Amino acid sequence: MPHPNVHQYLDASTAHLPADLLQGLDAIDGVIAREFRDGWWLWVPQDVPAQLADYDRLPTAIVTLWHFARARECNWVLLDADAPEVDELPTYEHAR
How much is the pLDDT for 96? 46
Residue 86: name the closest of 33, 9, 17, 11 by CA: 11
H runs (alpha helix) in the chain: 19-23, 48-54, 60-71
Q: Is the pLDDT of residue 65 over 50?
A: yes
How much is the pLDDT for 58? 96
Q: Are 13 and 95 spatial neighbours (Cβ–Cβ below 8 Å)?
A: no
What global pTM score does this model have?
0.90
Residue 13: name the closest of 75, 73, 94 by CA: 94
Give the C-alpha separation, 58 to 13, whole Å: 20
State the average pLDDT over residues 26-35.
96
How does residue 80 score in pLDDT terms, banded at 50, 70 and 90? very high
